[in-house]
Amino acid sequence: MTIIITGASKGLGKAIAEKYAADKMHNIYLCARNEAALQELANELLKDFPGTRVYTFVCDMSDKAQVFTFAKWLLDQHVTVDILVNNAGQFIPGSVYNEPEGALEKMIEVNLYSAYHLTRSLLPSMMQAKSGHIFNMCSIASLKAYENGGAYSISKFALAGFSKNLREELKAYNIKVTAVYPGAAYTDSWSGSGVDPLRIMEAKDVAEMIYASSTLSMQACVEEIVLRPQLGDL
């Protein structure tokens, strides 16, 4: 199978890549902005899971032109897209009334447009093949506004809407669409925050649910995955 993961160099993207690499039989295509971190991950996967084929592409998913370049690179290799994980994302804290100027534009570019443009670029080949599974990494912030969420929550609400539209549009083409709504999961971004790692989820929890959802029969589609820490949101 061919697995494509954006924003793959750390956090949830890295955990998802590790989960699929453990099968040792997939072609895994990873992109991220940080070339050094991306290459480090690729080296780790090749070392820990011999037989896995890993390909990397440095790309800032907030830049429309770079997204199109990444998509062209994939299509030029004639890949059959089995699983696309639109994971690239960014968080800028603040409320609508006090967040930095340009925060909304940036959040929309990273959290919505990246998934929109990449998916649109790959869909013609997926529709022709009448197969594939798209996972959009939304957030608990897609379901409920919260303090200091501002533009981030707005962008994630939009990504959830994009997911719902895709799900309806692609049923006839046998392409599955799953919106993923994770709560707080411990990644590098939480390091030094003072939050007890045992208070929130592990990144691999999210990866496990995505993996499980992608292994169901063709007749079944998990439309939404909602995960929260056992003790609730922070």
Contact 108, 169 (CB under 8 A): no
Helices (H) then strands (E): counts for the chain: 7, 9
**Exactly one of 29, 113, 116, 152 is catalytic; which is it?**
152
Q: How many residues in total does the chain contain? A: 234
**Is 152 one of the annotated active-site residues of the chain?**
yes
Give me the sign of the Cα torsion angle 53, 58, 64, 68: negative
The residue type at 60: D
Q: Which two tokens stand for residue 14?
A: 């890295």
Count CB neighbours of 101 within 10 A.
Answer: 6
d(CA 131, CA 56): 23
Smallest CA-to-CA distance from 54 within 62, 46, 66 is with: 46
Reduced to 3 states (helix: H, G, I; strand: E, B; else coil), residue 60 is coil
Contact 182, 57 (CB under 8 A): no
Active-site residue set: 152
